[in-house]
Amino acid sequence: MGFFRQEHWSPWPRVQGNRQHQATRRMCSYESSFQPAQFLLLVGVPLASAVLLVQCLRWRCPRRLLGSCWKLESQEEPAPPPTPLPEDESSRAGLPATLQEVATFYQELHTPTQGQTVIRQLMHKLLVFSAREVDHRGGCLMLQDTGISLLIPPGAVSMGRQERVSLTLVWDLTDAPSLSRAQGLVSPVVACGPHGASFLKPCTLTFKHCAQQPSQARAYSSNTALLDTKAWKPLGRPGDHTSRDECRIHLSHFSLYTCVLEAPVGREARKWLQLALFCSPLAPGQSHLQLRVYFLNNTPCALQWAVTNEQPHGGRLRGPCQLFDFTGARGDQCLKLKYISEGWENVDDSSCQLVPHLHIWHGKCPFRSFCFRRKAAKDNEDCSALTNEIIVTMHTFQDGLETKYMEILRFQASEEESWTAPPPVTQPPACNRLPPELFEQLQMLLEPNSITGNDWRRLASHLGLCGMKIRQT
């Protein structure tokens, strides 16, 4: 309705009938006697005035009111409310408003951390990062307790130069690739910075994955900066960069990287989960207790995310995590409450909770919780001996597979337990007789946790040594 169709235009109205036809002929003859200048005055001036009026309205009316100015003519319906951003684009809403904020973000991210791993929220993103300067001798960066490392070999930086590099674990789940139902996220998103930096020799990025078949895991890269909209593309074929539980990529330049599980058509894709139980301490007289079960990728950094997420709530990890064989071709995950010790009751209406399949398959780190309450003591009955301890048993399985595969989760807590952190042990300064470059490379190889537990911590426990002694060998 806002557009016009003009097949013929005349400054004079059309007239019908014989008399009107004769009058029209006289007027037309009179019109033909007009000079061009007179015609311009009669026609051009009104048109020019109308154009000037429209321009004034455009200049005087703000843009947000311009639509309402034109609505009188077009009679269009009001515009619908803006469509919400999709999940993979929701991070755009947190982009910095000024170039100065962007510069400050990257400056803090690339400032040397003196070998420390820093956890910080920058520009609405929860990040774990480390940064340092490297020269022609090379060097390595590691993110503590995450299994993520970056090796810059000797000769990668020209003689006499120093390059500032950073390694970042991105805990903002919106930065992960947009996946189909057939694809599963099996690793963290890792950023090497500064974005686009190149070296004389390839650098090696290493991080863990949880795919059961490494040949089905494919590395992905987004050649964008951390604050830009991501553009994920596969690197080679599935299995090119993956071993049993590790993804290793030789980098020609720095960008963002992750690993995605892609099973061939007709074959079933599976990955390992770790089930982690968290709750706050059980204090004397406490009437309620909440238990939370996380369904995490079986990678060290996923567990560290859960630990960090629980800190504001006072939650502590209860016991070792349990492995779970999760398949991409099955239904939702069920968590069923089977037993509560005497003296306690379930506050929730249901004893069974569901976790959507794609929340786990796409690595969203979901959790489910149960809340328990002490039962009120009856007359002449002392329940204190029963309620100072709670024992819970739960079953978890994928929908439709309860009779084939199921994990049993047991939880126990009591008021007598010591939940306080052990006092720090004063250790003498480390005596390192190895060259710094060799020591860093050995530390990088020994530090990451293994899915099967075959790492230096297990070896140390068999030898009766603590981890601190191994670090200072």
Residue 253 a catalytic site member? yes
Residue 21 a catalytic site member? no
Token pair, residue 168, equals 């970042």
d(Cα 184, Cα 125) in Å, to the nearest integer? 22
Half-sphere exposure of 29 (CA within 13 A, CB side): 5
Report strand pairing: 270-279 vs 198-208.
Answer: unpaired
Coil vs helix vs strand at 233: strand
Cα radius of gyration (the chain): 34
d(Cα 402, Cα 394) in Å, to the nearest integer? 13
**Active-site residue identified among 136, 221, 253, 369:** 253
CB 188 within 8 A of CB 196: no
Coil vs helix vs strand at 261: strand
What amino acid occupies position 464? Answer: G
- Helix intervals (H) in 311-378: 357-361
- The burial of 334, by beta-carbon neighbours within 10 Å (0-12 exposed, 13-18 middle, 19 or more buried), is given as buried
d(Cα 411, Cα 393) in Å, to the nearest integer? 6
Cα separations in angstroms, 420 against 316, 359, 387, 423: 10, 34, 21, 9
**Active-site residue identified among 91, 149, 222, 255:** 255
What are the residue numbers of the active site? Answer: 253, 255
